[in-house]
């Protein structure tokens, strides 16, 4: 289901990871990592490419092209299989724990025989790490905390993993005979940031062909339960997928029911009950006579309950029922409203595609404006210089001549230092069209210091957007600690937008903080933070998060026409 590019990139990345555990040449490892990113971000489907085409992917040379050809032919890469035989998969999984890298993972495996996160957890609790060279009390605590962080994400997957799986299943079953309608429901339809299991709903008078086609899909590892109304499977990646088939006339009620949330459904059923009605996945019924009232569309169900249709992203019993009753549901921002992207990278820093390709892809997306915001010099590893960024500005001005409907903005992603300062002096900063400022270091400052840091950044007249504000990595790194009320007040006061970073493992700001910021009158920017052309498709997750934060197009500066945006950018005190 996943794109061949993603699967192949994952294999090359795995090759890099396994080599770093076995102690391979660091430059070779880095070459694999670079190539993995380039492959994932490559616009062409690699399964359609021959050796020559594969070598045209930047950072892919003779050797990696051959490995990709190997993947195209066999679905795997021989060298990866060989290394897997040496290093259990669980050892590689250990490196997902913060502060645990490949070297320490290898020590744990060789000295203690630890080859899974569960085994490591047990070893920690039994004090088996004590005395192990390189592991002290602090390491033990870090590992314990890191495992806890992973457990919080639990067995859930990031929204993009679930979305791509669901899209693939829907596409594979859509044309099965008798299938009238099919879509995903559940927490994925509500665009939760992580998904526990995938719900797919189909309408058909004859469920059998659908169920048979479903269990025959190549991604199915195990059929947990198989019936006429519901079939549950576990995929090869361990995720549970439920397919429910309902009669076409019950579509609306079923979609409403299986979309949830449970809390939202409890509220809607209560409303039905008070009106002498009964709401179930089969329809809205008269309590006394048992007669069907409505069931065909969600709109009818809500309407009969005296409510307008409520967008799935609001269905959390977070005030949407009251808002619906009082006619103050927001007109939520959609992907179609987005006119521009204010945070993107090129291969001048850590992006994988050159400026020209990113801009061309932005034009293909139909964007009206597009900002290039490569990393600034204080993120030392990116090796940015004044000369390089000014040369980029020249190239952008040249390139602009080739585009009539797309305005290319020149920006940068600044680093907010521990005191709230940023790269470059005011004169230099004034030369940019738009500036995003982000926290990339010193994540563990205490709340007071972190709050001051953000407030100072907001007060900088050249900073327009605070990038991925909490700096969290879902299941990977805790958000920074700040007094967000104070930060949002400062953002509103200074006309600084808060970013909603679309990366599925960031989704930052998170929805709850978006809603909190909204109360202060903060404006937002929904940015892909694209490091490759393929990252543009993450927009849907950022938009979903913005919807969960109740945002309208007016709240989001990159839905605005360019002149209004420019006014916002220039009006900082």
Partner DNA sequence: GCCGTTTTCGGCCCGACTGTTTTCAGTCG
Sequence-distant contacts of 302-308: CB under 8 A, at least 24 apart? 302/256, 302/268, 304/277, 305/268, 305/271, 305/272, 305/275, 305/277, 305/279, 306/271, 306/275, 307/268, 307/271
CB atoms within 10 A of CB 266: 12
Q: Which of the stretches 22-30, 267-275, 393-401, 502-510 binds DNA when contact is defined by CB under 7 A?
A: 22-30
Residue selected from 48, 52, 127, 133 as contacting DNA according to rule CB under 7 A: 133
Q: Which of the stretches 1-9, 45-53, 93-101, 154-162 binds DNA when contact is defined by CB under 7 A?
A: 93-101
Residue selected from 18, 77, 87, 135 as contacting DNA according to rule CB under 7 A: 135
Q: What is the 3-state secondary structure (H, E, C) of 461-487?
A: CCCCEEECCCCCECCCECCCCCCHHHH
Residues 433 to 452: which contact DNA by CB under 7 A? 440-442, 444
Closer CB to DNA, 73 or 380, in the complex: 380
Put residue 526 in one of left, alpha, beta given phi > 0 → left and psi -120 to 50 → alpha. Answer: beta
* DSSP, res 151: H
Closer CB to DNA, 23 or 113, in the complex: 23
Query: In sequence order, what are the beta bridge partners of 527?
Result: 501
If you search the block for the tokens 């990031």, which residue do you land on? 158
Q: How far is the CB of 558 from DNA (least distance, A)?
A: 24
Backbone Cα Rg of the chain = 25
Burial of 405 by CB count in 10 Å (0-12 exposed, 13-18 middle, 19+ buried)? exposed
Q: How far is the CB of 105 from DNA (least distance, A)?
A: 6
Q: Give the x-and-dash track for 39-78 against DNA (CB under 7 A).
A: -------------------xxxxxxxx-------------
Cα–Cα distance measured from residue 30 to residue 28, given in angstroms and rounded to the nearest whole number: 5
Residues 331 to 350: which contact DNA by CB under 7 A? 350
Q: How far is the CB of 203 from DNA (least distance, A)?
A: 45
Burial of 111 by CB count in 10 Å (0-12 exposed, 13-18 middle, 19+ buried)? middle
Cα–Cα distance measured from residue 522 to residue 555, given in angstroms and rounded to the nearest whole number: 8
Residue selected from 18, 31, 233, 514 as contacting DNA according to rule CB under 7 A: 31
Q: Which of the stretches 69-77, 92-100, 116-124, 271-279 binds DNA when contact is defined by CB under 7 A?
A: 92-100
Closer CB to DNA, 62 or 326, in the complex: 62
Q: Is 396 in the site for DNA (CB under 7 A)?
A: no
Residue selected from 40, 83, 87, 105 as contacting DNA according to rule CB under 7 A: 105
Q: Is 142 in the site for DNA (CB under 7 A)?
A: yes
Closer CB to DNA, 137 or 426, in the complex: 137
| CB-based contact 484:453 (threshold 8 Å) | no
Q: How far is the CB of 544 from DNA (least distance, A)?
A: 24
If binding means CB under 7 A, how many residues of this protein chain bind DNA? 46
Q: How far is the CB of 381 from DNA (least distance, A)?
A: 3
How many angstroms separate the Cα of 166 from the Cα of each of 1, 119, 187, 196, 530?
Answer: 9, 32, 12, 13, 23
Closer CB to DNA, 309 or 443, in the complex: 443
Q: Is 110 in the site for DNA (CB under 7 A)?
A: no
Closer CB to DNA, 59 or 297, in the complex: 59
Closer CB to DNA, 33 or 317, in the complex: 33
Q: Is 28 in the site for DNA (CB under 7 A)?
A: yes
Q: Is 137 in the site for DNA (CB under 7 A)?
A: yes
How many angstroms separate the Cα of 493 from the Cα of each of 351, 461, 496, 550?
Answer: 33, 12, 8, 21
Q: Is 236 in the site for DNA (CB under 7 A)?
A: no
Closer CB to DNA, 56 or 229, in the complex: 56
Q: Is 477 in the site for DNA (CB under 7 A)?
A: yes
Q: How far is the CB of 26 from DNA (least distance, A)?
A: 8
Q: Is 385 in the site for DNA (CB under 7 A)?
A: no
Closer CB to DNA, 24 or 209, in the complex: 24
Q: Is 104 in the site for DNA (CB under 7 A)?
A: yes
Cα–Cα distance measured from residue 35 to residue 514, given in angstroms and rounded to the nearest whole number: 35
Q: Is 86 in the site for DNA (CB under 7 A)?
A: no
Q: Is 101 in the site for DNA (CB under 7 A)?
A: yes
Q: Is 32 in the site for DNA (CB under 7 A)?
A: yes
Cα–Cα distance measured from residue 425 to residue 568, given in angstroms and rounded to the nearest whole number: 21
Query: In sequence order, what are the beta bridge partners of 231?
Result: 226, 243
Residue selected from 1, 11, 18, 35 as contacting DNA according to rule CB under 7 A: 35
Cα–Cα distance measured from residue 35 to residue 58, given in angstroms and rounded to the nearest whole number: 8
Q: Provide the Cα torsion 565, 567, 570, 572; round to 10°.
A: -90
Q: How far is the CB of 448 from DNA (least distance, A)?
A: 17
CB atoms within 10 A of CB 127: 9
* DSSP, res 69: H
Cα–Cα distance measured from residue 564 to residue 573, given in angstroms and rounded to the nearest whole number: 17
Cβ neighbours of residue 438 closer than 8 Å, sequence gap 6 or more = 413, 414, 415, 416, 466, 467, 468, 471
| CB-based contact 379:440 (threshold 8 Å) | yes
Residue selected from 8, 9, 91, 100 as contacting DNA according to rule CB under 7 A: 100
Q: Which of the stretches 69-77, 98-106, 487-495, 563-571 binds DNA when contact is defined by CB under 7 A?
A: 98-106
Residue selected from 47, 72, 76, 139 as contacting DNA according to rule CB under 7 A: 139
Residue selected from 53, 98, 168, 354 as contacting DNA according to rule CB under 7 A: 98
Closer CB to DNA, 106 or 517, in the complex: 106
Q: How far is the CB of 82 from DNA (least distance, A)?
A: 12
Q: Is 426 in the site for DNA (CB under 7 A)?
A: no
Cβ neighbours of residue 286 closer than 8 Å, sequence gap 6 or more = 276, 277, 278, 293
Q: How far is the CB of 79 from DNA (least distance, A)?
A: 8
Cβ neighbours of residue 133 closer than 8 Å, sequence gap 6 or more = 107
Residues 364 to 383: which contact DNA by CB under 7 A? 379-383
* DSSP, res 520: T
Interface residue list for DNA (CB under 7 A): 25, 27-28, 30-33, 35, 58-65, 95, 98-105, 133-140, 142, 350, 379-383, 440-442, 444, 473, 477
């Amino acid at each position: 289901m996943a794109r061949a590019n993603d699967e192949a990139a994952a294999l090359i990345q795995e090759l890099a990871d396994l080599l770093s555990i076995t102690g391979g040449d660091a430059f070779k490892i880095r070459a694999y990592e670079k190539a993995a990113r380039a492959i994932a971000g490559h616009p062409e489907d690699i399964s359609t490419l021959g050796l020559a085409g594969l070598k045209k992917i930047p950072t892919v040379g003779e050797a990696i092209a051959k490995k990709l050809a190997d993947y195209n032919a066999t679905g795997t890469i021989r060298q990866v299989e060989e290394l897997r035989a040496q290093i259990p998969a669980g050892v590689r999984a250990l490196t997902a724990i913060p502060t645990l890298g490949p070297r320490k993972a290898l020590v744990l495996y060789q000295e203690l025989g630890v080859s899974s996160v569960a085994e490591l957890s047990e070893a920690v609790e039994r004090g088996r790490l004590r005395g192990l060279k390189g592991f002290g009390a602090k390491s033990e605590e870090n590992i314990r905390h890191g495992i806890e962080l992973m457990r919080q994400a639990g067995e859930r997957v990031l929204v993009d993993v679930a979305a791509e799986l669901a899209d693939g299943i829907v596409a594979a079953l859509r044309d099965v005979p008798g299938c009238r309608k099919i879509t995903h429901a559940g927490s994925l339809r509500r665009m939760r940031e992580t998904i526990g299991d995938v719900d797919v709903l189909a309408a058909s008078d004859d469920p059998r062909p659908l169920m048979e086609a479903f269990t025959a899909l190549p991604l199915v590892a195990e059929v947990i339960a198989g019936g006429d109304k519901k079939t549950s499977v576990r995929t090869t990646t361990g995720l549970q997928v439920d397919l429910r088939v309902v009669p076409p006339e019950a579509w609306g009620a079923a979609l409403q029911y299986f979309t949830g949330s449970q809390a939202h459904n409890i509220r809607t059923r209560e409303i039905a009950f008070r009106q002498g009605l009964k709401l179930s996945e089969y329809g809205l019924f008269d309590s006394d006579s048992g007669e069907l009232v409505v069931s065909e569309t969600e709109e009818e169900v809500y309407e009969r309950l005296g409510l307008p249709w409520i967008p799935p992203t609001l269905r959390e019993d977070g005030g949407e029922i009251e808002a619906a009753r009082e006619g103050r549901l927001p007109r939520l921002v959609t992907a179609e409203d987005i006119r521009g992207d204010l945070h993107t990278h090129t291969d001048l820093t850590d992006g994988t595609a050159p400026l020209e390709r990113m801009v061309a892809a932005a034009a293909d997306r139909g964007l009206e404006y597009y900002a290039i915001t490569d990393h600034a010099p204080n993120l030392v590893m990116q090796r940015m210089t004044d000369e390089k960024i000014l040369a980029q500005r020249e190239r952008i001005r040249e390139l602009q001549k080739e585009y009539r409907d797309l305005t290319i903005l020149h920006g940068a992603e600044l680093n907010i230092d521990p005191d709230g300062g940023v790269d470059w002096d005011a004169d230099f900063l004034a030369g940019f069209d738009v500036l995003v400022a982000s926290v990339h270091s010193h994540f563990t400052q205490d709340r007071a210091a972190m709050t001051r840091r953000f407030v100072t950044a907001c007060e900088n007249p050249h900073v327009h957007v605070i990038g991925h504000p909490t700096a969290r990595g879902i299941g990977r790194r805790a958000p920074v600690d700040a007094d967000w009320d104070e930060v949002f007040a400062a953002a509103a006061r200074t006309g600084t937008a808060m970013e909603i970073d679309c990366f599925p493992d960031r989704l930052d700001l998170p929805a709850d903080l978006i809603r909190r910021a909204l109360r202060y009158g903060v404006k937002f920017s929904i940015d892909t933070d694209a490091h490759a052309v393929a990252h543009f498709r993450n927009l849907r997750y950022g938009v979903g998060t913005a919807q969960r934060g109740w945002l309208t197009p007016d709240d989001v500066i990159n839905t605005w026409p360019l002149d209004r945006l420019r006014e916002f950018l220039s009006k900082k005190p």
